Structure 1
Amino acid sequence: MMKNISFRFHCSYPIFTCIALCLCLTSLRFPSVAALSSGNETDRQALLAFRDSITEDPLGVISSWNSTIHFCEWAGVSCSNQHPGRVTVLNLESKKLAGTIPPHLGNLSFLRGINLRVNSFRGTIPQELGLLSRLRYLNLSQNAFQGEIPSNLSYCSNLQVIDLNYNNLVGEIPDELSVLSMEKLTGFGISVNNLTGNIPIWLGNASSLIKLSMGENNFQGSIPTELGRLSNLQLLQIAGNNISGMVPPSIYNLSSLLYLDIGDNRLYGRIPLDIGFTLPNLLGLYVGQNQFTGLLPVSLSNASELLDINFAFNKFTGTMPPKLGSLKGLERFTVTSNLLGTGEAEDFSFLTSLTNCSNLKLLDIGFNNFTGELPASIGNLSTTLEYLVAGTNQISGSIPEGITNLLGLTMLVITKNSLKGEIPASVGKLEKLVDLRLFDNKISGAIPASLGNITQLRRLYLHTNNLSGNIPPSLGNCRQLELLRLFSNNLTGFIPKEVGSLSSITLSFNLAHNSLTGPLPTEIGNMSKLTELDVSNNKLSGEIPSTIAKCLMLERLDLEGNLFGGRIPPALSILNSLQFFDLSRNNLLGQIPAFLQNFSLLQNLNLSFNNFEGEVPQGGIFRNTSAFSVVGNQKLCGGIKNSGLPACEIPVAKKTGTSLAVKIAIPVAISCVILLACSIGYLCRRKRPERIPSTMLPVDEQFRKISYAELLQATNGFSSSNLIGEGSYGSVYKGILGSDGTAVAVKVIKLTEKGAAKSFMAECNALRSIRHRNLIKIITTCSSIDSKGDDFKALIFEFMPNGSLEEWLHLSKGEQENSRSLSLVQRLSIAINVASALEYLHHHSQAAIIHGDLKPSNILIDHHMTAHVGDFGLARFLSDSQPTSSEIQTRSTGIRGTVGYVAPEYGMGSKASMQGDVYSFGILLLEMFTGRRPTDSIFNDSLNLHQFSKMALPERVTEIVEPSVLLEVGGNDDRVMGKVKTEECLVAVLTIGVSCSKESSGERMDMRDVVAELCMIRNKVFTE
């Protein structure tokens, strides 16, 4: 599509030139005094068009562009001295502007520079910028531009700098840019976009190029050898792509290079040992996260200006380069996650050399094979050193006393080694330390009380050592401590109240597997935001403090293997965030509290080997025998059928002597009660009106009333930290409701939005009459007045801890790093859940209901990964789905629903129908398995998600599905069969998706058939 536009523009370019020439001749023949005094009218009109395209101007920069002053004096505008009234520079960097670039800028024919860096411009970059033949630099970085790079920039023959970094551009670099006058190009930046393809070979013709930045895109292939011709290049940055192969030797001969960043790719081979001689001016060398092998370059010391060296996450071997101390300005040096080290005592000799680097801030040698003791000279490293990381090596000996001279340290990590001896008492001098990690060693002795002097300490990891003695109360001085892990040591004594009351601890308080005694301090309740409390396998006694109930964020509570007695405190009933709860191997007694079955997030409950008695609850987690354990409690009974417990005895009333008067009185009384009941029943039948079924009552009459104040408290004042979603008509907050601490989702209706009130009523009408396991469960509603006196309406739903399907299908970059994805089995199961919900709405509810807005963000996932369809704001009963005249008029300006998921017939005025929901489901199903939104940038007028999937059936399905789905291909013994089953499943599922999303509504499947076929696929593929 873009190529066609380019072609048309090329053909018409001579015409534009002729017209411009004619206009120039006309102005010469008929000059005007007004034109001479006011400057060039064409330039003024172009600037006015730019002004009108601005939608946000908080600093008032553009709003000052008015007729009271000449446009050459407008903010950000510069004009030529030789050609009065002709604009030469437009510089509006960092002005917080938003809007688009109008094509009229192409009329500023004398323009030499455009700088709109760091604003919020959006839309596409207009092709008309190609008219600016005098343009030398174009900087549109750090905006929100979309679309492709305009090919017509090739006409800007004087361009020297192109900087498009940090936008949302897509596609490939246009081949047309190769016609630029490359000898003038000094900068080319397009990093952090979505560009694909190979690195263009023609860039090698830009002999004067100084900066080439193409990082964080989707480039593939190899690095072109031709880039080695860029003799003036100072920065080469292509990190964060999918580039593979070996680095061409010509790159290492670019003697002008100051920064070489080729990290986070798939490059392999060896780094030349003489790189320091061929690139003597290097300031930064970044080759991390590749597959390089061999020795580290011995010539690094020759590049004496080096500030930053990153060789991390490769396969380098051997010793560290000698004479690193020659790099006097070195600030950061990281070789983590390699195979460095020889097993000899000299492995750490390089540390002595680094003591000459007086500016060193970061030294990371972790995850290697360095062997031996840390030299005493480590204490002579620069006091500017902030990060010292040496974890996961083969370090022996003790921690050098001199390490406490490194007063600038904020992080010290020497984990998973073989350190012995004690922690130096002088460690308290490291007052800037924020993170101290010494776990998984053989360190002995007591925990130094001087740690309490490090008041900025946030994370302390000393677990899995041989530490002994008491926990120093001085740790209570570390009032910023977020995490304390001391488990798996030999610690004794009480848990100090000073430590137990640290409200700053939120991530973990883990003292497990020690020999601690005494009670668990009641002050533990001060840790109100704590998520993990583990004091298991100690000798703690007394009762479980009820103050633990104040730790409302607790997800893991482990008290196993202690001497706790008494009953489980009823106050703990509000800990609804618990996922793991272990009270096993204690001396607890009484009945198992019924509130445990209300913990909807609980996945593991262990109450074994205590003295509990009575009946075991049957709800919640107690329905799943693999999720809880009560063995070793001899007096328990009941539970679900397959619990293995004896049935509970029914108590029998004790027989006592009964007098004759009582024997006579009882039958008489019973007879009187029966007679009275019959009389009342007769009267009621005559006068009682017809009873209204509960399902026909408004939602807020079926459930208990709830006030605005209760919701305000439950959501922490509708805090932004509780906000979990936002839509056109409402914002959704997480809340903790009532004395039982039920986790809920509160949808607050935006009543100021047009149509919001109608959406609220539609949702109420739909929800009051439906009940299904795969539909979102409503708890209650609220219709009240808020604190400002305005109307307030909200719907309160069961909270879904795993968010929406949208969040699982389209992860953010940070989440992708954590590799969270849906498996093939999970995707199929969710598809069946959603299909079952639609089948119920269409064919089994009291009146057929059309959902009207099925999409991933409206499908919520519970803690069992079961899907629930929600958001019935556009739902309609089939009986009243015929559009009203006002609705028909509305459709001329917009379609109800979400673009990409709305059935095509809705755009032509058709009424809402079951087939419309089927279409949305079909698109959703294709999106779930291909990983592509229906609005993906690859789709245009001639291609959509339906056609994209249809063309791949059946042979090419593996080419279009989400890559993580293909990981499920069985074990080692039946990998081929597993692959066949996977492909069969994908073909069958995509066939259903294509069938449901056909353009003709009459050709789409019925949801009853969809459910049946999806279940058949699941049974065939995963049970055979």
Structure 2
Amino acid sequence: MDSSASISHSHQLPSPPNQMTLQQTNLCASSSSIYLHVILLFSTCLLCLQTTITAIALTNETDRLALFKFKESVPQDPFNMLSSWNDSMNFCNWHGITCDRQHQRVTALNLEGYKLHGSISPNIGNLTFLRLINLQNNSFYGEIPQEVGHLYRLQQLNLNNNTLEGEIPSSLSNCSNLRAFGIGINKLSGTIPSSLYNVSSLQILSVAVNQLNGTLPLNIGLNLPNHHKLYLGSNEISGTLPASLGNLVNLIVLTLSENKLSGEIPKKSKKKSPSMVSTIGLLLNVSYKELYQATCGFSLSNLIGYGSIGVVYKGALDQEERLVAIKVLNLQHKRASKSFMVECNALQNIRHRNLVKILTCCSSMDYSGNQFKALVFEFMTNGSLDIWLHPERDNKNQSSNLSLLQRLNIAIDVASVIDYLHNHSTQPVIYCDLKPNIILLDNDMVAHVSDFGLARLLPTTNDSSQKQSSTIGIKGSIAYAAPEYGMGGEASTEGDVYSYRIFLLEMFLGKRPIDEMFKDGLNLHNFAKMALPEGLVQIVDPILLPREVEEMQTSTLAREDNNKNEIQEDKETLDIVNLCHIDANLHKCLVSVLEIGLACSMESPKERMNMEEVTREMHLIKNAFLGSKICRGGLI
């Protein structure tokens, strides 16, 4: 190799390091570019996130401010239900407010039954995520703001029983998801917006007891295919009933009375499926003429019951001659009209298997031009519990067939429905007048509680200071009413518990609380308390005892009559009776039931069992009794 070549080669050796340096420079530049892109992307994401957070904050702030404006429009809040509406907590935790989890936007405003007095702020239209507004049973006045029409997600708008005035906003037709709209019992006037009938999602429309006028659209039955409850009664709506009403195949409630409407209510075709043609649940108003004919002119032969504010007839209604019970109110009684409204509202809005079912009502004029009001109920073939417990002497009746198990079932039926009214109904209800003659028995001897004429609604709160406070009027029959009622105490759930105690003792002892033997301080409670547990056979209804024990009990009762109603304690005789004749499990069952009755009748209302506890205990007693029968292979 020559020197030139060597030199040339030596000059080429540094070249690779120069290329590497250039590549490293390019790599560094590329890495810097990547880092720059990452930083830019991260910054962009942060900016987007900040924008989203800012947007959420702004929309949440809109809801918060709208709620504050709503509160400002309610100057009177007697139960301080809006006291939590302040900046000390997130508005989603305010009383009556529900928010969705994702957006933290207000989806429900539920302030039913708190006696709120004020107007409805137009700012409510800014709560655009609202699906439920429930302000019924308050004292809201003024107009329904047009801004409600901005709530396109709204599904339920309940404003019943306030003092709202003005017209129904036509903007409500923009609420395309609206399913239930209730403005009954207000002072609204004008016509029902025709556009409202075009909201095909609407299932319940309640505008009864207002001052609305106008006519019903001819296509009402075509535009509301999903409608199943339509309350139009007590307004000034005129014209002919549209034939298209017959197309409302899902309709189960229709009230039209006390309007200026003419024509007949279109009937559903009998060619439709049984669920469509059955009218057992259809609440169509009936005329005085129909009820007159159904009862053969309100004949005494069809009279099946009576009370202070009305009488009850048996009748055969419609072409199917379906048996019904028709309660005709005595409108001379000062409580009759209010009782009519209370009972209609209670029985239409509350559902339980052990409540009597209201079928229809009538508010009209009789043939003499007098005002006439009546309620039509499902007919109970076995009548009232009272006639089973206390048959007339000349009527050897079905009382002997009312077994212990049947009485247990009836006691549980009644406890269950009172527990439901107190603790599980949408709005708590105090029954106020529990007694055997308003407990009706169907063909299967299932008990149904009827007669809501004295029922009271409670605000939806657990604060005892917020119970309904009206002390005006009767709070139940004297023999069954709690002692605090006699001292002007307010109606309460504890009062119902006391009435249940009287009912329970009466059913298992077979004696009315007004029996002539109860005097000089002796009553049902003391009668049972003094005898239990050893003297059970002396006080229990003889029908529940084996024949041998019943004969001995009759002898004991004869001694009571000869000794000024004082229970004679013959320990030796009682021990023989209890050990030799009465079954131990029967004895335990009866003692347990009567002890429940005693626990419900404590003088202090706070010391009484509540109906949830009573229902649970009665189920346990029944199951224990049935279990003992099954274990022994016995028959009930």
Provide TM-score, normalisation by structure 1.
0.31
Q: Which has the higher contact order (CA 8 A, sep 6+)?
A: 2
Provide TM-score, normalisation by structure 2.
0.49
Judging by fraction of residues, say which structure has more helix. 2
Judging by fraction of residues, say which structure has more strand. 1
